[in-house]
């Protein structure tokens, strides 16, 4: 391939390919073929190049799905069916506070109670959040679009329905924010990119419809990092409410920041490689990444068909259980959809739970890999007292702790699947040269993916199956895996590619200098800020209920969720 004067990528002419060309190409794929074979391939390869060009030239909708289907379930395994049932903890809910800020930071459960008992109206709750967005968001850049008029109209309707004795469920009248990769009819849905900043879809995504029908009130569209990569969109970098000098994490950057700053009751994020868990960890909120296939992805920005998931970011554990109960369900338009019920029972018997952990995971945190020979992207830093408090709380909870270790395998190779899938979805940007306009660091990753052979990609997918088998065997020994969110980057990445659910939630605090997107401060000697520390759990497929129930017990024991960031 070569770049034209306009920056577009032109396909090389197959007649230019000779044995010497192929000899150089061998280096890209770590192969060494007989010299006479290269001469023969140079003659026959024209047909292969023509086939590639023919398919490339066909019009393809951005949301066109591949013929291959990823399914996290293992052959021969049975998965116990679940009823759609919530059994929340019997919490004594106090009367409505007088101060707006106390109402804004209350849990979904508390707000829903005040709405049902007519102590609070959805209109007032919505106004509280819209006022906070106006005052605070200019410091955070968390919202791309604020839907004031829609929010007011929906809140007024929800109040009228409650006055008539009609409730749509636990989210009735609750204001929320939606990541701007989710289509909303008649409302800007920009993907966080200047290339799509004027994009207005004509239909709602399935999840947007589900939330509207559940009675939730849409406050607006919160920032996604451009095309779901990083923490920056065309309006700027989303800030962490605990330290405005550092990014909020990504790519569900606005979701994490807005929930932490009390700008909404909850937010929706999406995840292809930690894009829910990362901002939730950075901002000290609860982030739930459900089992692959649980939540409908129809109408959301396509990026990685075998990886993408949708989940809630909330201030408390049971809020996440409530939201998942609403958005869980089959999607007849998606090849990856799995129809599976969701049960949550807060009164779990902890003595029957086995929790796997490694002391190494509670030694350091960061984006480094345990695999020799990999690049340490951002370095590692010692775990905080908050992380260790989380471990102590788990050990004292009554569960059985089991030491585990991940086998030494080249997990980093799985990342190639993410790059290949996203490069295929957004191929038009690469071939047209528009990728040069991106803020997000996608362009060279997508260009590099063009040089990965199809055979090697398929072998990586076979390796992925090996990793799925490994995790399946590990979950024969334990119910959950417990770690600081980035205590093992390998584990976080593996659970992403195997489709297992994960949750992160606050366990304490740390004093740390300003970070960039990594875990290590850019200047460790710089001024210290009080920031949050999160721990995470990864569970068996479809066992979010068990994971959430254990997390709720820890949330109660640690009792650190109440502290608010210094903003607003």
User: What single DSSP character describes residue 515?
Assistant: B
Q: Is 275 a catalytic residue?
A: yes
User: 3-class SS at 131?
Assistant: helix
Question: Rounded CA gap, 22 and 35, in Å?
Answer: 10
**Cβ–Cβ under 8 Å, residues 108 and 316:** yes
Q: Which of these is catalytic: 107, 122, 179, 417?
A: 179
Q: Which of these is catalytic: 122, 251, 255, 334?
A: 251
Tokens 């577009």, residue located: 8
Q: Which of these is catalytic: 248, 275, 337, 533?
A: 275
CA proximity to 539, closest of 501, 505, 504: 501
User: 3-class SS at 42?
Assistant: helix
Question: Rounded CA gap, 494 and 202, in Å?
Answer: 36
DSSP states of 162-190: HHTT---STTTT-EEEEETTB-BTTB---
Distances from the Cα of 70 to the Cαs of 342, 435, 470, in angstroms? 21, 28, 17
Angle at 427 between CA 426 and CA 428, to 5 degrees: 90
User: 3-class SS at 248?
Assistant: coil
First-to-last alpha carbon distance for the chain, in angstroms, is: 52
Question: Rounded CA gap, 425 and 66, in Å?
Answer: 10
**Cβ–Cβ under 8 Å, residues 19 and 42:** yes
DSSP states of 96-154: PPSSHHHHHTS-HHHHHHHHHTTSS-HHHHHHHHHHHHHHHHHHH--EEEE-HHHHHHH
Q: Is 78 a catalytic residue?
A: no
Q: Is 251 a catalytic residue?
A: yes
Q: Which residues pair with 10 in a beta bridge?
A: 2
Residues serving a catalytic function are 179, 251, 275
């Amino acid at each position: 391939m070569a770049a034209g004067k306009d920056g577009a990528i032109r396909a090389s002419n197959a007649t230019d390919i000779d044995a010497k060309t192929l000899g150089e190409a061998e280096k890209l794929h770590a192969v060494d073929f007989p010299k006479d074979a290269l001469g023969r391939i140079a003659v026959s390869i024209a047909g292969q190049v023509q086939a590639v060009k023919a398919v490339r030239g066909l019009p393809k909708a951005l949301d066109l799905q591949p013929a291959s289907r990823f399914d996290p379930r293992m052959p021969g395994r049975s998965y116990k069916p679940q009823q759609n049932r919530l059994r929340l903890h019997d919490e004594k809910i106090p009367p409505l506070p007088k101060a707006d800020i106390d109402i804004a930071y209350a849990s979904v459960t508390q707000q829903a109670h005040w709405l049902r008992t007519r102590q609070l109206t959805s209109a007032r709750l919505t106004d509280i959040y819209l006022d906070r967005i106006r005052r605070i968001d200019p410091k955070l850049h968390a919202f791309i679009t604020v839907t004031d008029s829609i929010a007011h109209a929906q809140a007024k309707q929800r109040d009228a329905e409650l006055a008539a004795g009609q409730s749509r469920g636990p989210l009735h009248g609750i204001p929320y924010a939606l990541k701007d990769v989710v289509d909303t009819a008649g409302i800007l849905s920009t993907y966080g990119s200047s290339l799509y900043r004027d994009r207005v879809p004509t239909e709602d995504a399935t999840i947007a419809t589900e939330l509207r029908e559940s009675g939730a009130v849409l406050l607006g569209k919160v920032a996604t990092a451009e095309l779901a990569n990083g923490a920056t969109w065309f309006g700027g970098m989303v800030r962490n409410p605990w330290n405005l000098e550092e990014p909020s994490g990504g790519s569900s950057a606005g979701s994490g920041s807005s929930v932490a700053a009390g700008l909404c009751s909850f937010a929706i994020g999406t995840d292809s490689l930690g894009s829910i868990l990362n901002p939730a960890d950075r901002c000290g909120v609860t982030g739930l990444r459900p089992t692959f296939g649980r939540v409908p992805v129809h109408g959301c920005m396509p990026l990685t068909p075998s990886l993408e998931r949708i989940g809630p970011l909330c201030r408390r554990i049971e809020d996440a259980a409530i939201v998942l109960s609403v958005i869980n369900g089959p999607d007849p338009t998606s090849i990856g959809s799995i129809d599976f019920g969701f049960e949550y029972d807060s009164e779990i018997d902890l003595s029957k739970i086995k929790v796997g952990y490694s002391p190494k995971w509670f030694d350091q945190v960061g984006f480094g890999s345990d695999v020799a020979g990999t690049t340490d992207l951002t370095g590692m830093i010692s775990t905080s007292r908050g992380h260790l408090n989380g471990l102590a709380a788990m050990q004292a909870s009554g569960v059985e702790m089991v030491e585990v270790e991940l086998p030494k395998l080249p997990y980093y190779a799985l990342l190639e699947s993410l790059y290949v899938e996203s490069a295929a979805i957004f191929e038009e940007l690469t071939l047209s040269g528009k990728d040069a306009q991106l803020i997000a660091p996608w362009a060279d990753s997508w260009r590099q993916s063009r040089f990965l052979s199809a055979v090697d990609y398929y072998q990586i997918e076979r390796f992925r199956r090996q990793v799925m088998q490994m995790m399946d065997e590990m979950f024969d020994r334990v119910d959950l895996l417990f770690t600081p969110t980035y205590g093992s980057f390998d584990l976080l990445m593996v659970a992403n590619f195997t489709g297992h659910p994960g949750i992160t939630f606050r366990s304490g605090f740390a004093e740390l200098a300003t970070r960039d997107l990594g875990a290590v401060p850019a200047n460790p000697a710089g001024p210290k800020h009080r920031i949050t520390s999160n721990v995470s759990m990864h569970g068996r497929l479809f066992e979010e209920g068990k994971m959430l129930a254990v997390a709720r017990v820890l949330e109660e024991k640690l009792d650190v969720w109440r502290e608010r960031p210094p903003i607003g």
